[in-house]
Structure 1
Amino acid sequence: MSDEQLQQWIEKVSLEHFGVPFTHRAFFNRRLRSTGGRYALRSHHIEINPHQLAAHGEEAVEGIIKHELCHYHLHLAGRGYQHRDADFKRLLAKVGGSRYCQSLPDAAKRTLPFKYQLVCLDCNMTYKRKRRIDPKRYRCGKCAGKLRLEELQRE
């Protein structure tokens, strides 16, 4: 699906479910990872995660579109557009938008395995880390002993 098709889809959903036209830009943003979509407060544009469409289909993305349109229309109307606001919750329930998006199937693959561990020289307590740090700047949380950095073996 192209950005133009997404724009037409959002304009159609806006008119059908909200009765108000969507007059700003909508497009796919491939850099979105943990969210299904995003409404930009300053530019009023809506960005949709294309990975959600590929993984969960049009029905899930339509729920995301309705969610972002709730933010859009309430913000432009000067009403409560944040997730915690009663106006937002009421409008979202009325139009049938999704409160949360489904997680992507490859989300677990993106987490990096631990590469390093810090070992206390006094009590042998270990702390696993994904990033390399300078052990001279830290002490053991258990006994305040000095730490040694070890690189874990790759599998």
Structure 2
Amino acid sequence: MENETLQKLVEDLSIMNFQRPFLHKATFNTRLRTTGGRYLLKTSNIELNELYYKEYGVEELKGIILHELCHYHLHIMKKGYKHQDQDFKDLLKKVNAPRYCKPLISIGKRTLPYKYKYICTKCGQTYLRKRKMDLKRYVCGLCKSVLKQV
């Protein structure tokens, strides 16, 4: 999807769901990694993560756009546009926009969330940990048996 098509999609969603026009720019930002999109307060533009479109398709992208448009329209109307504001929460429910977006699959595959794996010698329960454990000090939480590192 090109930025021109994205701009048209954002403008259409704004009219359909908020009955208000979107008068600024909407673009893909390839540098976004941990978020689906962002609303820029200084310029009132919206930047979206292109990876969400590539991985989940246009429906997930529409949800992210609606979320960012909630920030946009509330800020323009001088109401509470932040995540913790009640105006924002109410508008999200009204337009059926997600509060959070799904985690990206491609980002999750790059690094493992854990570094160490431990298995109980008796019951076989596995424990995944980011930090190393002292095996003399800790035992299995289920059967109180000895753990071993894999």
Structure 2 length as normaliser, TM-score? Answer: 0.73
| Deviation of 1:52 (Å) | 0.1
For these two proteins, the number of residue pairs brought into alignment is 116
1:88 matches 2:88: yes
Deviations 1:117-149 (A, max 9, x none): xxxxxxxxxx88xxxxxxxxxxxxxxxxxxxxx
Q: Which residue of 1 aligns with 2:39?
A: 39
Deviations 1:21-62 (A, max 9, x none): 000000000111110000000000000101000111111110
Q: Which residue of 2 aligns with 1:59?
A: 59
Q: Which residue of 2 aligns with 1:27?
A: 27
Structure 1 stretches lacking a partner, 5+ long: 115-126, 129-155
| Deviation of 1:110 (Å) | 3.3
1:107 matches 2:137: no
Q: Which residue of 2 aligns with 1:13?
A: 13
Deviations 1:86-134 (A, max 9, x none): 00000010001111111111222333899xxxxxxxxxxxx88xxxxxx
Q: Which amino acid aligns with 1:109?
A: K
Aligned counterparts of 1:5 and 1:23: Cα–Cα separation in 2: 15
Q: Which amino acid aligns with 1:72?
A: Y
SS of 1:38's equivalent in the other structure is strand
Aligned counterparts of 2:9 and 2:83: Cα–Cα separation in 1: 23
Structure 1 length as normaliser, TM-score? Answer: 0.71
Structure 2 stretches lacking a partner, 5+ long: 115-130, 133-150
Aligned counterparts of 2:67 and 2:5: Cα–Cα separation in 1: 18
Aligned counterparts of 2:87 and 2:13: Cα–Cα separation in 1: 19
What is the aligned-residue RMSD (CA, Å)?
Answer: 1.7
Instruction: Give the fraction of aligned pairs with identical amino acids, expressed as a percent.
Output: 52
Q: Which amino acid aligns with 2:2?
A: S
Moved over 4 A (4+): none
SS of 1:54's equivalent in the other structure is helix
